[in-house]
């Protein structure tokens, strides 16, 4: 039996109210030369919420934001749902067509947009069906050349709104708090529905897994639009930690902020770690105190993990999807691993690990939903169920039913379970290469290539082959000033792994990326199969 004294809907709103009450004078946000405390941060959030209410935002009304990692984006993580609305943080690297589709699909009433992305909105302004109010974030810049008619400037909007807490709470903890759209690599983006309860729980799990406290200083290298910053948009302010915002992610700036501001934690795809590793090769350094880093989105190579250890960055390998509020597993470090040589330790850490505290079950299954043996060899689909799986896809019952077959969320990732219960992702279902009947893990080949001292990163995809059906091809990005031939790369692999797994061709170029730092292997794969009859998996 529940009562007002023993039940209140779980919501991140409780986080920010507590931090404002307990730490009013503690630094909440750092951005360039500006910094302000929690009392001011909370007042700005309340002003945003009240301004949105005056624009007609209320229960189930959608507000979109199109901004980089700047304070107004962080404020929107609280202000929108404190007005009763639903936040849709837009991926600013999507095409204008995709952004327009999302704005229409989620029926956004208000769009908050940074000046940098106004040209995108100008291109689609005539196609927006539901947007009634535009808020432009100038971020200290002069008035833009073009902005939507009737647009209000963000700081002007805040200045005219009340600082009083609107005290609007969700009717139910399973009400929608945000919708996060997938990148749309195989079609139009799908809207992943997050609830107040799920957001609260996953943010709490972040605090547990990354051992955050009020003394933590979090550097925003991960896009806030991506799974609401893996839910750190709620976790960091909720804990009373300081958030350092960055408009753009750059290696030297990261290093300097970590060193000068005493950063304790940052998150991002392996490419973010690679920025620091590359800088450390060029200008050797090591952080005085250990710095935690959460990485996911793609498996970090053992070579990269070893490089992070050299500069005193302690990497936590996380794994998850937009559909699981971001990270849902963590490679928990065992004491006996610490005695291993660096490369062996990194090899253990490169696995995706075990479910976090709120994942009820994690399994590797075959097509008939049978659990596969934990032998580190038998590969199947990674399936998850627990308290931090999405409510479903917004306005897409068919896709939701497909993802939730047999009471499990199907990730689309292929992996194995090790005897110690740790999972290891071997590939996306769409990326596995079947050559002459043999399965080739592109991740295995990529990790091998990453071990070459002259290779910065590599991506492996298939290309058609008359004899074998398909064979692996490597796209390789060399370290600055290094030169390798195709033959040298192939021979490097042939000396270290089964020949059928080795690339049959090597293409030297920079790798295309998604907005969250993942290599766009689908784009590379499409190049290889252009004009061919190919089952594009996934």
Q: Rounded to 5 degrees, what angle do the CA atoms 65, 185, 100 make?
A: 35
Measure the CA dihedral 121/41/9/107, to 10°: -10
Q: What is the DSSP-derived secondary structure letter of residue 513?
A: B
Give the span between the Cα atoms of 396 and 259, in whole angstroms: 46
Give the span between the Cα atoms of 434 and 468, in whole angstroms: 8
Q: Rounded to 5 degrees, what angle do the CA atoms 423, 520, 104 make?
A: 105
Which of 393-429 are b and which e, b meaning 16 or more Cβ less than 10 Å from the residue's Cβ?
bbebeeebeebbeeebbbbbbbbbbbeeebbbbbbbe
Q: DSSP characters for 166-177?
A: -----SSTTSEE
Contact criterion met (CB below 8 Å) for 147 and 111: no
Determine the pLDDT at residue 184.
Answer: 53
Q: Which of 438, 459, 440, 449 is nearest to 484 (CA)?
A: 449
Q: Which of 521, 363, 346 is nearest to 442 (CA)?
A: 521
Q: Rounded to 5 degrees, what angle do the CA atoms 480, 506, 475 make?
A: 65
From residue 507, give the alpha-carbon distance in Å to each of 374, 485, 524: 36, 10, 11
Determine the pLDDT at residue 189.
Answer: 83
Contact criterion met (CB below 8 Å) for 482 and 452: no
Residue 444 CA from chain centroid, whole number: 22
pLDDT tens string, the chain, 538 residues long: the values are: 567 789 889 999 999 999 999 999 999 999 999 999 999 999 999 999 999 999 999 999 999 999 999 999 999 999 999 999 999 999 988 888 889 999 999 999 999 999 999 999 999 999 999 999 999 999 999 989 999 999 999 999 999 999 999 999 999 999 999 999 986 544 678 999 999 999 999 999 999 999 999 999 999 999 999 999 999 999 999 999 999 999 999 999 999 999 999 999 999 988 899 899 999 999 999 999 999 999 987 677 778 888 999 999 999 999 999 999 999 999 999 999 989 988 788 889 889 999 999 999 999 999 999 999 999 999 899 999 999 999 999 999 999 999 999 999 999 888 999 999 999 988 777 777 878 666 687 888 998 899 999 999 999 999 988 777 789 999 999 999 999 999 999 999 998 887 888 999 999 999 988 766 778 888 898 899 886 654 433 3
Helical spans, DSSP H, in 38-188: 38-54, 71-82, 96-105, 118-124, 154-159
Query: What are the two backbone dihedrals, phi and then psi, of residue 317, each rounded to the nearest 5 degrees?
Result: -85, 120
Q: Tokens at residue 250, please?
A: 């750059």
Contact criterion met (CB below 8 Å) for 73 and 269: no
Determine the pLDDT at residue 325.
Answer: 96
CB atoms within 10 A of CB 26: 17
Strand ranges (E), 211-289: 217-219, 242-244, 265-268
Helical spans, DSSP H, in 350-483: 397-403, 442-450
* Three-state SS at 73: helix
Query: What are the two backbone dihedrals, phi and then psi, of residue 328, each rounded to the nearest 5 degrees?
Result: -130, -10
Give the span between the Cα atoms of 249 and 269, in whole angstroms: 12
Give the span between the Cα atoms of 179 and 63, in whole angstroms: 10
Give the gyration radius of the chain's Cα atoms.
Answer: 23
Edge-to-edge strand list for the sheet holding 27-31: 34-37, 27-31, 242-244, 217-219, 265-268, 291-295, 313-321, 326-330, 354-355
Alpha carbon distance, N-terminus to C-terminus of the chain = 45
User: Would you put residue 376 in left (φ > 0), alpha (ψ -120 to 50) or beta?
Assistant: left
Give the span between the Cα atoms of 357 and 355, in whole angstroms: 7
Q: Which domains does the chain have, with CATH numbers?
A: 30-195 (3.40.50.12780), 249-384+410-428 (3.40.50.12780), 433-528 (3.30.300.30)
């Amino acid at each position: 039996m529940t009562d007002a004294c023993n039940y209140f809907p779980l919501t991140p709103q409780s986080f920010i109210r507590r931090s404002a009450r307990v730490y009013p004078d503690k630094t909440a946000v750092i951005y360039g030369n500006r910094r302000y405390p929690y009392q001011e941060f909370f007042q700005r959030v309340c002003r945003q919420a009240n301004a949105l209410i005056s624009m007609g935002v209320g229960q189930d009304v959608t507000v979109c934001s199109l901004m980089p990692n700047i304070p107004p984006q962080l404020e929107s993580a609280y202000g929108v749902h404190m007005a009763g609305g639903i936040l849709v943080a837009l991926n600013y690297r999507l095409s204008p067509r995709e952004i327009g589709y999302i704005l229409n699909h989620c029926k956004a009433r208000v769009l908050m947009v940074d000046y940098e992305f106004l040209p995108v909105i100008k291109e689609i302004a005539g196609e927006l069906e539901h947007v009634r109010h535009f808020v432009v974030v100038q971020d200290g810049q002069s008035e833009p050349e073009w902005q939507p008619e009737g647009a209000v400037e963000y700081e002007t909007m805040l200045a005219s709104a009340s600082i009083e807490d609107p005290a609007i709470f969700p009717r139910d903890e399973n009400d929608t708090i945000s919708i996060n759209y997938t990148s749309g690599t195989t079609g139009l983006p799908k809207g992943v529905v997050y609830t107040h309860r799920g957001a609260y729980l996953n943010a709490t799990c972040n605090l547990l897994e990354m051992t955050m406290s009020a003394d933590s200083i979090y550097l925003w290298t991960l896009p806030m639009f991506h799974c609401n910053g893996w839910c750190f948009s709620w976790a960091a302010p909720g804990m009373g930690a300081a958030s350092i915002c960055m408009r753009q992610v750059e290696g030297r700036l990261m290093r300097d902020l970590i060193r000068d501001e005493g950063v304790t934690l940052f998150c991002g795809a392996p490419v973010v770690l690679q920025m620091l590793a590359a800088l450390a090769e060029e200008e050797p350094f090591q952080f005085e105190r250990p710095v935690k880093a959460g990485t996911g989105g793609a498996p970090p190579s053992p070579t990269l993990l070893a490089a992070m250890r050299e500069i005193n960055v302690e990497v936590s390998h996380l794994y998850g999807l937009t559909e699981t509020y971001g990270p849902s597993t963590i490679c928990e470090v065992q004491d006996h691993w610490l005695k291993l040589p660096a490369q062996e330790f990194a090899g253990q850490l490169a696995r995706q690990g075990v479910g976090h505290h709120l994942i009820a079950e994690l399994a590797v299954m075959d097509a008939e939903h049978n659990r596969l043996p934990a032998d580190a060899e038998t590969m199947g689909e990674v399936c998850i169920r627990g308290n931090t799986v999405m409510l479903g896809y917004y306005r897409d019952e068919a896709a939701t039913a497909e993802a939730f077959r047999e009471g499990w969320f199907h990730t689309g990732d292929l992996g194995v379970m090790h005897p110690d219960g740790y999972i290891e992702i071997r590939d996306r279902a769409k990326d596995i290469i079947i050559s002459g009947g043999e399965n080739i893990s592109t991740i295995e080949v990529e990790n091998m290539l990453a071990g070459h001292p002259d290779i910065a990163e590599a991506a492996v995809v298939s290309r058609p082959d008359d004899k074998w059906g398909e064979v692996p091809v490597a796209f390789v990005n060399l370290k600055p000033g290094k030169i390798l031939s195709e033959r040298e790369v192939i021979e490097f692999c042939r000396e270290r792994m089964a020949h059928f797994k080795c690339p049959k061709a090597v293409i030297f170029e920079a790798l295309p990326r998604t907005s969250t730092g993942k290599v766009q292997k689908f784009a590379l794969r499409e190049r290889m199969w252009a004009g061919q009859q190919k089952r594009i998996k996934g």
